[in-house]
A = this chain, B = another copy of it.
Amino acid sequence: MVRWEPGAKERLQLAALDLFLHRGFEQTTVQDIAQEAGLTERTFFRHFADKREVLFQGQQQYAAEFVRGVRDAPAGAAPFELIRAALLSGSVLFDDERRPWSRQRQAVIDANPALQERESLKRVSLTDVLTEALVARGVDDVDARLTAEIGVSAFFVAFRGWIRADEQRSLDDLQQEALARMAAILPTRAPA
């Protein structure tokens, strides 16, 4: 007889999403989740720093793809090209199979302020790592931050559209549209 089944973390994540969906985040205790996964509270907290974090693991995987897009872009690419590459690279994680799961997860987050708080912090972290990646590609500090802000905004606006019930377009299509619209909103520079 084994002392523990493999995949404890995954079991906890699945149990948590399921319970949050049906009972609500606040109405679900960590003990409930652990019990559902055949583990104890203490073990839950070994895998996740806090109760909310169980929904946000995997985000750093997205950040990594994002950064990889920047790192692998052709030499001499302008900041705007770098951010397009980042967005395209990240979008591969959001295929049509994932759409229903993303919808469920987002519904749970939208129903709870504490989870929105964590999500918004993840957004900031994503902007930070992207900024760093741009600086590593030689972009000026402030421009890097602004470029990252533009890119992350495009991602989040596109993502919201992507999980809409009637939306069929790919995430990257929506991202490109968001970037184009932002360019249209900002004033054109006077020709040199």
Show the binding face of A for B, using Cβ within 8 Å: 79-80, 113, 116-118, 120-121, 123-124, 142-143, 145-147, 149-150, 153, 156-157, 161, 178-179, 181-189
Contact = CB atoms under 8 A, between A and B. Distances in A.
A160 to B, nearest CB: 8
B80 A186 contact: yes
Query: Mostly helix, strand, loop or mixed at chain A's interface?
Result: helix
B146 A157 contact: yes
B117 A150 contact: no
Contact of A185 (B80, B123, B156): B80
A178 B146 CA distance: 7
A120 B124 contact: yes
A129 B181 CA distance: 20
Nearest to A120: B120
Contacts of A161: 142
B185 A188 contact: no
Contacts of A157: 142, 145-146, 149
A191 B70 CA distance: 29
A178 B142 CA distance: 8
